[in-house]
Structure 1
Amino acid sequence: MKKPELPNKVEEPLSEYGHYTYADYLTWQMDEMVELIKGKIFKQAAAPRVNHQRVLAMVFNTIYNFLKGQKCEAFCAPFDVRLPVKSKRNEDIDTVVQPDICVICDPEKIDEFGCIGAPDLIIEILSPGNNRKEIQNKYEVYEESGVQEYWVIHPNECTLMIYTLVEGKYLPSKLFTIGEIVESKIISDFKLDLTEVFENICFQFPPLKQPFIC
């Protein structure tokens, strides 16, 4: 696979309200992590909260260890996932996301710069302020790009929702929580015990009195 050409680096995009591509993205040197969704820039406002990181570590380690020696491979952010629509040319790709966790079963999609094409499974863990991006914007591009399973985890509410792609549209699961075991249709025989995922979170801090800001 041809490597993306790295142009001369520039500090920042000229405007957050323009339309940008992966070719532009490669030129930026920014302090915070950014994603492109249909050409629009989304900046991560602050470092993830501690509960986000606890859930990320637990879920990623469980999946990573399960997949050892298998064809599928798990990655966690920061890890660029490019989602082409028209072509795989850098100038044509306008969606570049960094899922918290992704599982890729086609090694042809993995290159030096990350993943090009839809991962088989994506897991996003909500943080204050990113609900709309994860639930609405990313939901749309993951569905359109053909991500077979999309898991959304809410650490502070100790819940997990699975969206499964059926005939090009996502169908939601029931809302899973502590005491339940979640299975993946993509990763055969994989099971995730939500009690183990949430036990050090939901019994440590009281629920937030204020809702997350969208």
Structure 2
Amino acid sequence: MSAYEPKEILIDDISLLEPEATYSYADYLKWTFEERVELIKGKLFRMSPAPRRTHQEIGTVIGNEIYNYLKGRPCKVYHAPFDVRFPGNTGDSDDQTFTVVQPDICVVCDSAKLDEAGCKGAPDLVVEILSPATASRDLNEKFHLYEEHGVKEYWVVYPGENVLEIYDLVEGRYVSRGKFVRENAVGSNVLKGLKIELSDVFEEING
């Protein structure tokens, strides 16, 4: 399949895009429609219009715990919408970059990867909170994407089950550390000393 030929005009209606075409980050920057989308290896994926309340509550607790832990430390935590670009090579230009995603939460410890557009390169830790519309993508395409590009730690939250699963990157492959439930506390191998009580994360769900 040939690459999408970029147009020099802004696209304000997602229906004008060709669903089967291959797009670059340079194309993505020309889209002004309200729908949130991601690109994975040039393929267009629509995101959920708005996260559910439970999704937001879980993200707020985890994000706040990480933010408080990182005070005075060099790493930074970011929440969606925040663009993370995965170029094939470090020096790839926007039109040579075909993947841009918006993790629910990500932690970046290398400031050289940060710019005004977001993050270029792999975050150190990514958290995805599953929703019906994105669960398959988070557990398949994005799982392999984060693994391939070297995201050191991947947390997957299952809101309907009150479960958080943690994957650690070991010799280039994700290995599940386990599935943790409301009665557990979780830590991070990337952020040494971080401890999050899952009873706090899932409190509103059980309330």
1:191 to 182, 195, 206: 195
Query: Taking every aligned residue pair, what percent have the same amino acid on both sides?
Result: 47
Is 1:39 the counterpart of 2:63? The answer is no
User: Which residue, out of 13, 21, 39, partners 1:18?
Assistant: 21
Which of residues 161, 168, 172 is equivalent to 1:164?
168
Alignment of 1:78-89 (within 5 A): 78-86=81-89, 87-89=91-93
Q: Is residue 63 of structure 1 aligned with residue 66 of structure 2?
A: yes
SS state at 2:160 partner = coil
* Contact 1:82–1:96, Cα closer than 8 Å, also in 2: yes
Tell me how far apart the structure 1 counterparts of residues 181 and 92 of structure 2 sit (CA, whole Å): 39
**Which residue, out of 95, 102, 109, partners 1:91?**
95
Instruction: Assess if the C-alpha contact under 8 Å between 2:165 and 2:180 holds in 1.
Output: yes
1:152-197 CA distance string (max 9 Å, x none): 0011210001111111110012110111010100001001110111
The number of aligned residues is 197
Displacement after TM superposition at 1:8 (Å): 4.5
Amino acid at match of 1:66: Y
Instruction: Report the residue type matching 1:121 in the other structure.
Output: L
From the superposition, tell whether residues 45 and 101 of structure 1 become closer, same or farther in structure 2 (CA, over 3 Å). closer
- CA separation in 1, counterparts of 2:48 and 2:74? 35
How far 1:102 moved relative to its partner? 0.3
Q: Does 1:126 align with 2:127?
A: no
Q: Kindly report the root-mean-square deviation, in angstroms, between the aligned alpha carbons of the 2 structures.
A: 1.2
2:40 maps to a residue whose letter is I
Please give the TM-score of this superposition, normalised by the length of structure 2.
Answer: 0.92
TM-fit CA distance, 1:39: 0.7
Instruction: Give 1:200 shift.
Output: 1.4
Instruction: Describe the SS at the equivalent of 2:136.
Output: helix
Which letter does structure 2 place at the counterpart of 1:107? S
| Structure 2 residues without counterparts, runs of 5 or longer | 1-7
CA distance in 2, matches of 1:98, 1:45: 11
Deviations 1:4-58 (A, max 9, x none): xxx6522245212111110110011121110001111111243111110110111
2:3 equivalent in structure 1: none
Amino acid at match of 2:42: G
Q: 1:164 and 1:9 mapped to 2: Cα distance?
A: 40
Gapped runs of 5+ residues in structure 1? 1-6, 205-214
1:149 to 146, 153, 170: 153
2:33 paired with 1:30: yes
AA matched with 1:119: P
More helix by proportion, 1 or 2?
A: 2
How many angstroms apart in 1 are the aligned matches of 2:92 and 2:197? 38
Q: Are 1:9 and 2:13 counterparts?
A: no
Q: Is the 8 A contact 1:22 1:91 kept in 2?
A: yes
SS, match of residue 59 in structure 1: helix
- Aligned match of 2:77: 74
